[in-house]
Structure 1
Amino acid sequence: MIKRTIFSFILIASVQLSKAQTFIQAYQDRANQVSQTNINTYLQEFEALGVKRTGTTQNTDAFNWLKTKYTSLGYTTADFFEHSWTASGYSSKNLIVTKAGTLYPNKFVIVCGHFDSINGPGTNDNGSGTSIILEIARILKDVPTDYSIKFIHFSGEEQGLLGSSRYVSQIVNGTNPKMDIKVVVNLDQVGGLATKANTKLYHDRDQSTPTSNNAAAAIAVQELANCTLLYSPLAVDFDPAESTDYVPFQQNGEIITGYWEYEGGYNNPYVHTANDKLVNMDPVYVLNVGKSAVGSIQHFAAASTTTLALEDSSISTNLESVEFYPNPAKNVLNLKIPDNIKDFTVEITDMNGSRILVSKENTNHIDISNLKPGVYLGTISIGNDKVTKKIIVE
C-alpha cells in the first residue's frame, strides 16, 4: 500500500445490519472453509519470493507463482488474462482471472489487491491480501454466482497505482460500452501485528471526488461491514478510501470499497521495510479477514444460498469457540474447549510453520516451559476439522 497521507478517519460506534442483508448459512459454511494451512503456505511462499519491485525478476516470479496457484485450483488459461502495461519507466503485468456468472455474465464484481512490494518481501503489504484473494477463488470456484467475479492481482501499486490505473484506462474503458462493474472490493495490508489482539477491521469508505458514486459506495461499505459481522469474529470500523488500487476505479465513477488492517494501520512500523515479514504479522487475523471477504464476495456476486453437499458444520462452529488462556502465557497454557468435543489434539508451530510441540490427545493443560518467548500458532484438530489460534509466550 502506498503510504496514506490523511490521518483523520471516521469512528462508528456500532453497525446495524440492514433488513435486506441477513445471515445465510451456506455463506457461513463457505467462509469457514478458509484454511489456516493455505493462508500460512501462501504467506510463506510469497515471502520466499523476495522483494517484488515492479519490473524486477522477482516481480515476474511472483506473477508466475500466482498463475501456478490458479492452475492448481482448477482454473484454466481460458480464465486468465495477462494485462501487460508500461508506465513511468516501468513494465509489468496484471493478472486477471474471471469466474463467469450464471445470470449476469457481463456484469462484474471485482476483488483485487497488489502483489508488488518495495524495500522488503511485503508479506503483509500485500501478501496478506493476495493470500485471501487466492482463498476466495478456491472456495468459490464451483459455486454458482449470479454475477461474474474478476480476481485481479495488480503490479505497480507502490510506484503510484500504475497497474490499476492502466487497467482502468486500457481495459475497463477500452470497450464500447465500457466494462460494467457492480462493485470493486480491494484487499491491501490486512495482516495485523503479531503482538496485538487484532480483533477489529477497517472498511474503506469513499469520500472522494467525483462524489456522484459516493452514495452507492456508502451502501456498499455498509454491506461490507455487515458481512464482517455476519461471517467473521471481527469488529468493524471505517476509514477514508485512499491510496490503493481502487482509486483509479473510483475516479472512473465505479462503486468501490475495501479492507485495511486496524492494528498497525497508519503506524505499522514494518510496512515498506525489509521487516515486512510473516514473523511480524498475525496469520490468524488474515484468516478472519478472509472469512469476511468470502462472505462479502458471495453477497455482492449473489452466490448460491444452498449448500450443494450435506455438511455437518456443528463441529466447526464449536471449534471457533476454543480459546487458549492465559494469553500471553508462561510455563502452562490452558485450553477452553466445548464439552461436546471429546477427542482432539493440539499442535503448536512457530511462525515459519515448523512444528514445535504436539500435545497428548484430549489434554487441556499444555506444558510450554521449554518454548522461547515469542508468537506461535496453536492448532486444535478433531477429525478433519481444525481451528488455529495465535499464542503469545512471555
Structure 2
Amino acid sequence: MTQVTKLFTVFFFLVAFTFTSAQTYNTFYGNTVNQVSASNILNDLTTFENFGTKQIGQNALTATKDWLVSRYQSLGYTAIEEQPFSVSGTTAHNIIITKTGSLYPDTYVIIDAHYDTINGPGTNDNGSGTVLLLEMARLLANINTEYSIKFIHFSGEELGLIGSEYFVNNTVIPEDLDIKVVFNIDQVGGVNGTTNNRIYCEEDRSAPWNNNAASALATQTLATCMALYSTLNTEISYAYGSDYVPFQNNGNIITGLYEKNESPYSHSPQDLLENMDPNYLYQVTRGALGAALEFAVATNPLGVKSTLFTNGITITPNPATNYVNITIANELQKNALITIYNVAGNAVYNSTPTSAKQTVDVSRLQRGFYLITVQNGLQKTTKKLVLK
C-alpha cells in the first residue's frame, strides 16, 4: 500500500465516522424541523416569482439579490458578502452568508442554491431552492452548530455554473477553505397534479474518484435524514449539471437534492407557482433542514453549552508520541467519559477520570489519526488526535 493510499484510507474512515455517528431520530432536530412554516415558503415563493425573469444584466436579478440580502439581515445575520464577478462585461453577485460554528469555526458545511433564472421567473428552478435556504437559515439562526455554515446563493448557474466556478477558484482554492460537505439544492418544487412523494439524493460518481466514497456516505446521511424528518421516499442518483460540480472537480465532498418528478416547465415562462406542489417543497425543506442539523452538528441549547464545554478541554501534546494529557475543567470533570476511537470507529481506550488531568499511554497504538470524545452525560465533544 502506497503512502498516498494509506492517507486516503485514513481520510475515508475518518469521514465515515463523521457521517455515520448519529443516524437515528434526534428529538431536538425533530422539534426544530416541526417549526418549518409552509406559509413562509409560500410567501417567499410568491415574492421570488413576482421579480420576474432573473437573467444576468437584468434589473430583476439585482432586485432579487437585494431582497435576499435584506431577508438575511432581518433574520439577524451580519456576515453577509456580495461577491461580484463579471459575465460578458456585466457584473453579477454571489451572496455568501456565514454562520460561525462553536467547535470547528474554520470547517464549513456549504448549503447552496442558485437564484438566477432563464426565459422565465424560475419559481421552481430555482426559486424552490432559494426559499428553502431562507427558511432553513431562519430556523438555524439561533441554534448552536459545531461546524460553521455558509449559505450561498449563486448567480450565473443557468449560463454554465459561472458563479460557483468563480467562488471555488477565487475563495475555496486560494483560501484553502476546509469544507466538510457541499449540500446543493436545485429544483425541488414538484409538479402540480402529480404524486410528488419521492426525492433524488445525489452523490458523486465522476472523476476525480478519491472523493466519491465520502460523497456516497454523505448522501446516505442525507437520505436517512430525509426519511427521518419528512414524509418523502428517497432514491440515490448521480450529481450533474448544478453548482456542486466545481466543488466536485476540486475534490470536495458533495451531495444534493433534486425533484423526482422533473418539471416540464423549467427555463420557460410557465415555470410558475401554479405549476408547482408547495406541500412537496414543504416536505423537502423539512428533510433538508434535518440533514443540515446533522451535517453541522447542532446542539440542544437546554444542554451544556458547547462553547463552554469545548473551552474546558485541552489535549497535549498533539501530535503525540508515547502519551497524551487530557485536561478537563474541574466543573466538567464529574461523570465525564473519555473515549479514544481509531479510524475504523472502534474504541481503543475509555475511562472516567478521577482528576482534572488524565495521562493516557498511547505508545502501543499504531501511528495515525484518532478521535477523542469527552462526554459528561449532556454534551459530547470530539477532538482529533495525531500519533506520530
The two structures have a TM-score, normalised by structure 1, of 0.71
SS, match of residue 212 in structure 1: helix
Opposite residue 228 of structure 2, the aligned amino acid is L
Pairs aligned (count) = 285
**What is the alpha-carbon distance in structure 2 between the residues aligned to residue 57 and residue 87 of structure 1?**
15
Residue in 1 that maps onto 2:307: none
Residue in 1 that maps onto 2:112: 112
**What is the alpha-carbon distance in structure 1 between the residues aligned to residue 233 and residue 168 of structure 2?**
32
**What is the alpha-carbon distance in structure 2 between the residues aligned to residue 228 and residue 283 of structure 1?**
17
How far does residue 19 in structure 1 lie from its aligned partner after superposition? 7.1
Give the 3 Å change call, closer, same or farther, for CA 88–253 of structure 1 in structure 2: farther
**What is the alpha-carbon distance in structure 2 between the residues aligned to residue 257 and residue 25 of structure 1?**
24
What is the percent sequence identity of the aligned residues?
A: 48
Q: How does 1:18-167 map to 2 (within 5 A)?
A: 20-76=22-78, 79-167=79-167
* 1:246 paired residue among 244, 247, 270: 244
Do 2:144 and 2:301's aligned partners in 1 also have CA atoms closer than 8 Å?
Answer: no
Residue in 2 that maps onto 1:259: 257
Opposite residue 37 of structure 2, the aligned amino acid is S
RMSD across aligned positions (CA): 1.4
How far does residue 174 in structure 1 lie from its aligned partner after superposition? 2.1
Give the 3 Å change call, closer, same or farther, for CA 307–119 of structure 1 in structure 2: farther
**What is the alpha-carbon distance in structure 1 between the residues aligned to residue 186 and residue 53 of structure 2?**
17
Is residue 2:291 matched to residue 1:296?
yes
Do 1:24 and 1:305's aligned partners in 2 also have CA atoms closer than 8 Å?
Answer: no
Give the 3 Å change call, closer, same or farther, for CA 19–109 of structure 1 in structure 2: closer
Gaps in structure 1 of 5+ consecutive residues: 1-16, 309-394
**What is the alpha-carbon distance in structure 1 between the residues aligned to residue 212 and residue 90 of structure 2?**
32
How far does residue 306 in structure 1 lie from its aligned partner after superposition? 5.4
Q: How does 1:312-391 map to 2 (within 5 A)?
A: none
**What is the alpha-carbon distance in structure 2 between the residues aligned to residue 89 and residue 195 of structure 1?**
42
**What is the alpha-carbon distance in structure 2 between the residues aligned to residue 274 and residue 157 of structure 1?**
18
Structure 1 stretch displaced more, 53-62 or 115-124: 53-62
**What is the alpha-carbon distance in structure 1 between the residues aligned to residue 167 and residue 38 of structure 2?**
32
Opposite residue 46 of structure 2, the aligned amino acid is Q
Residue in 1 that maps onto 2:317: none
**What is the alpha-carbon distance in structure 1 between the residues aligned to residue 21 and residue 77 of structure 2?**
36
**What is the alpha-carbon distance in structure 2 between the residues aligned to residue 307 and residue 88 of structure 1?**
52
Opposite residue 35 of structure 1, the aligned amino acid is S
**What is the alpha-carbon distance in structure 1 between the residues aligned to residue 67 and residue 87 of structure 2?**
23
Residue in 1 that maps onto 2:269: 274
**What is the alpha-carbon distance in structure 2 between the residues aligned to residue 55 and residue 167 of structure 1?**
19
Do 1:125 and 1:276's aligned partners in 2 also have CA atoms closer than 8 Å?
Answer: yes
Residue in 2 that maps onto 1:332: none
Residue in 1 that maps onto 2:226: 228
Do 2:144 and 2:300's aligned partners in 1 also have CA atoms closer than 8 Å?
Answer: no
SS, match of residue 236 in structure 1: strand
* 1:184 paired residue among 182, 195, 199: 182
Do 2:83 and 2:93's aligned partners in 1 also have CA atoms closer than 8 Å?
Answer: yes
Do 1:26 and 1:307's aligned partners in 2 also have CA atoms closer than 8 Å?
Answer: no
**What is the alpha-carbon distance in structure 2 between the residues aligned to residue 220 and residue 294 of structure 1?**
15
How far does residue 307 in structure 1 lie from its aligned partner after superposition? 5.4
Opposite residue 273 of structure 1, the aligned amino acid is S
* 1:198 paired residue among 196, 199, 203: 196
**What is the alpha-carbon distance in structure 2 between the residues aligned to residue 18 and residue 200 of structure 1?**
23
How far does residue 88 in structure 1 lie from its aligned partner after superposition? 4.8
Opposite residue 292 of structure 1, the aligned amino acid is G
Give the 3 Å change call, closer, same or farther, for CA 239–32 of structure 1 in structure 2: same
Opposite residue 254 of structure 2, the aligned amino acid is I
**What is the alpha-carbon distance in structure 2 between the residues aligned to residue 113 and residue 234 of structure 1?**
20
Do 1:112 and 1:133's aligned partners in 2 also have CA atoms closer than 8 Å?
Answer: yes
SS, match of residue 145 in structure 2: coil
How far does residue 20 in structure 1 lie from its aligned partner after superposition? 4.1
Residue in 1 that maps onto 2:280: 285
Q: Deviations over 1:94-137 (max 9, x none)?
A: 00000000000000000000000000000000000001100110
**What is the alpha-carbon distance in structure 1 between the residues aligned to residue 171 and residue 21 of structure 2?**
36
How far does residue 196 in structure 1 lie from its aligned partner after superposition? 1.1
Q: Deviations over 1:297-336 (max 9, x none)?
A: 000000014558xxxxxxxxxxxxxxxxxxxxxxxxxxxx
How far does residue 87 in structure 1 lie from its aligned partner after superposition? 3.7
**What is the alpha-carbon distance in structure 2 between the residues aligned to residue 143 and residue 20 of structure 1?**
18
**What is the alpha-carbon distance in structure 2 between the residues aligned to residue 260 and residue 134 of structure 1?**
17
Opposite residue 210 of structure 2, the aligned amino acid is S
**What is the alpha-carbon distance in structure 1 between the residues aligned to residue 65 and residue 74 of structure 2?**
15
